[in-house]
Amino acid sequence: MAFSKARVVPIGLAAAAVFLLAACATATPTPTVAAPTAVPPTALPVPTQAPTPTPAPLPTATPLGFTPGTKESPRMIAIDTNDQLAFAPAVKPIAEGETITFQLTNSGKADHEFMVGPLDAVIADTAADEIAAVAPGKTETITVTFNGPGPFGFACHAPGHFEAGMIGYLPVTGPDVPTLGTKAAPRLVAMNMDDTLKFMPDQVVVAKGETITFLLTNSGKIVHEFAVGQADMVDADVIDGVLVIEQDEIVTGSVKAVTYTFDGTGPYAFACHEPGHYQAGMKGAILLTTP
């Protein structure tokens, strides 16, 4: 029987071959270690200043439009008297209980006086507070405290002056002042007229049955009039003295009073019928409400 000859590889050579095969295999990559990232230092808190305290607000005017005077600090009201036999201003709102110092200056050439207090006593020339004489070019003062609901006013009773219309009014706002005007105590409503041919205000809210005294000041240079009552008659300039009443010839610097009771169903209105004034828009409305 014949035997084939096997090829014998020396052990030393086999080991070398294994080593070479291992060396040719893909080497495992060495992990890359990232450089450490610098950590920013912790920010220190910035010191802050304590907030500046807000100063207390200064006293401001009340919804009245002025800061009421006190006995310790009276409110000053300057009033001019003149040869037109009128006060300027002739209507100044006041607060119940406030103290006022009136500063009277005579810019005319005739002597005047100044009586102030309850309106009925002022009209009757019996009020207790009075400057007996304000000479031409002079200024005098008087301080008065107004307790109660009023009405209050002031007047000059030098010969013929009051009769010529030298009177002023002090409408009062306060807790004791009736909300609605009555025939015995009408509610005072100040109204101004000037050369713009407008009433200010041009609307007045009135309760049905209420009595109003309109205090009409002409602060312009041209003459005005004031008619109030049933709207259709006012618009047509029909004055009957009952449903519509009128105050005419309201001259510059003067104040006139018109009292009307709104006891009908309306509508009501007011207007000036001096030539061209109504056509220019010099009219207003009464807004009638239920009390």
Same domain, 290 and 210: yes
pLDDT of 52 above 50: no
Query: Which residues sit opposite 241 in a β-bridge?
Result: none
Question: Is position 42 within any domain?
Answer: no
CA distance 237 to 196: 21
Specify whether the CB–CB gap between 206 and 268 falls below 8 A: yes
Same domain, 282 and 196: yes
CA distance 128 to 144: 10
Give the phi and the psi of residue 273 in degrees, each rounded to 5.
Answer: -110, 25
Question: Is position 23 within any domain?
Answer: no
Same domain, 224 and 278: yes
For the record, the structure tokens of 77 come out as 């009201």
Q: Look at residue 64 in the predicted model and tell me its pLDDT.
A: 78
**H/E element holding 17?**
helix 11-24
What is the amino acid identity at position 4?
S
Question: Is position 209 within any domain?
Answer: yes
For the record, the structure tokens of 34 come out as 């990232």
pLDDT of 60 above 50: no
Number of domains in the chain: 2
DSSP 142: E
Question: Is position 216 within any domain?
Answer: yes
What is the amino acid identity at position 56?
A
For the record, the structure tokens of 173 come out as 């706002």
Which domain range does residue 114 map to? 66-174
How sure is the predictor about 45, in pLDDT bands with cuts at 50, 70 and 90?
low
The secondary structure of 156-209, three-state, reads: CCCCCCCCCCCEEEECEECCCCCCCCCCCCCEEEEEEECCCCCEECCEEEEECC
Specify whether the CB–CB gap between 257 and 207 falls below 8 A: no
DSSP 98: -
CA distance 148 to 126: 18
- Domain end, chosen from 159, 174, 189, is at 174
CATH number of the domain encompassing residue 79? 2.60.40.420
Same domain, 147 and 183: no
pLDDT of 210 above 50: yes
Environment class of 247 (CB within 10 Å of its CB; exposed 0-12, middle 13-18, buried 19+): middle
Same domain, 236 and 167: no
Specify whether the CB–CB gap between 170 and 146 falls below 8 A: yes
Q: In this predicted model, what pLDDT tens digit does every residue of 63-98 receive, in sequence order? A: 678 999 999 999 999 999 999 999 999 999 999 999
Question: Is position 21 within any domain?
Answer: no
Mean pLDDT of the chain: 85
Question: Is position 134 within any domain?
Answer: yes
Provide the Cα torsion 90, 91, 93, 96; round to 10°: 70
Q: Look at residue 240 in the predicted model and tell me its pLDDT.
A: 97
Q: In this predicted model, what pLDDT tens digit does every residue of 245-269 receive, in sequence order? A: 999 999 998 999 999 999 999 999 9
> How many other CB atoms are there within 10 angstroms of residue 6's CB atom?
5
* Among 165, 217, 166, CA closest to 189: 217
Same domain, 137 and 237: no
- Domain end, chosen from 141, 174, 207, is at 174
Q: In this predicted model, what pLDDT tens digit does every residue of 115-140 receive, in sequence order? A: 999 999 999 999 999 999 999 999 99
Question: Is position 19 within any domain?
Answer: no
Same domain, 79 and 163: yes
Question: Is position 200 within any domain?
Answer: yes
Same domain, 149 and 190: no
How sure is the predictor about 284, in pLDDT bands with cuts at 50, 70 and 90?
very high
For the record, the structure tokens of 98 come out as 């406030």
Same domain, 191 and 242: yes
Same domain, 187 and 99: no
Instruction: State the pTM of this model.
Output: 0.74
Q: In this predicted model, what pLDDT tens digit does every residue of 21-41 receive, in sequence order? A: 444 444 445 545 454 555 455
Same domain, 159 and 117: yes
Same domain, 195 and 291: yes
What contacts 61, CB < 8 A, 6 or more positions away?
A: 67
- Domain end, chosen from 174, 202, 228, is at 174
